Amino acid sequence: MDFMAAWFDFKALWYRLVRSFCCLAITVYFRFRYEGQHYVPDVGGALLLSSHQSLLDPVLLAITHRRPFHYLARKSLFVGPIGTLLRSLNGIPIDQDGSGISGLKETLRQLKRREIVLIFPEGTRTPNGQVQTLKPGFAALARRCKVPLVPVAIVGAYDCWPRRQRFPRPGRIRVQYGPPFTPEEFADYDDQQLVDEMERRIRVCHEQAAAKHFQPGGAPGWRRRG
């Protein structure tokens, strides 16, 4: 038990160190701003449902809140040193179609531990910077664990690092969170209604972020405490 406690303490410290470094680098390089992070619960489990614009997305969202995030990433990334790094930073490997049993079990385990899990319900990065149709896999997780669903959208990351570009270029990125959708509120929704409602909420967040991101003469500035 002493060994396990020491390991978890080290992992938590490592996560905070990496997050602090990434926060500085991303704020400077991408003139990063975010709003609405107060919608993420300070205690208890939650599913963050985010639009997916680039490989930067898990890092962008992790630096917006003091609580550590666990996140799903495709299984093919978890190889060699990169895979070790992803696991050390709370990555959960899962098949791209969401069918991996081990990944789903780990997600359930973290939610039952009252942790925050970040998923990208579009299933893959956007090809054009817009929000894509959501896949329904998160609905069963939400019902089984009875956790709130927090919508979030990212704007600008696609322009900085589109799918076919090898390295990111400087630019502006903005993240917008929306109000959580609680288990009590979606208790009477069927799966398709739940998927449609969360897609609508993510699109609202995207529109809010885009309106500020692309406003004429708008200076990116520093992050805003929402």
pLDDT tens, residue by residue, 170-186? 999 999 999 999 999 99
Distance CA 22, CA 173 (A): 14
**What does DSSP assign to residue 98?**
S
**Average pLDDT over the chain, rounded to an integer:** 87
At 137, the pLDDT band (50, 70, 90 cuts) reads: confident
Q: Residue range 103-121: average pLDDT?
A: 90
Q: Residue range 23-43: average pLDDT?
A: 94
Higher pLDDT, 95 or 165: 165
- Inform me whether the pLDDT recorded for 25 exceeds 70: yes
Q: Are strands 116-119 and 46-50 parallel, antiparallel or unpaired?
A: parallel
Interval 139-166: pLDDT, tens: 988 889 999 999 999 999 999 999 888 8
Higher pLDDT, 100 or 146: 146
| Whether the Cβ atoms of residue 46 and residue 179 lie closer than 8 Å to each other | no
- Inform me whether the pLDDT recorded for 31 exceeds 70: yes
- Inform me whether the pLDDT recorded for 125 exceeds 60: yes
Distance CA 96, CA 94 (A): 6
pLDDT at 203: 98
pLDDT at 100: 56
Other Cβ atoms closer than 10 A to 40: 20
Please check whether the domain covering 2-213 is classified as CATH 3.40.50.1820. no
Task: Classify 38 in phi/psi space as left (phi over 0), alpha (psi -120 to 50) or beta.
Answer: alpha
pLDDT at 2: 62
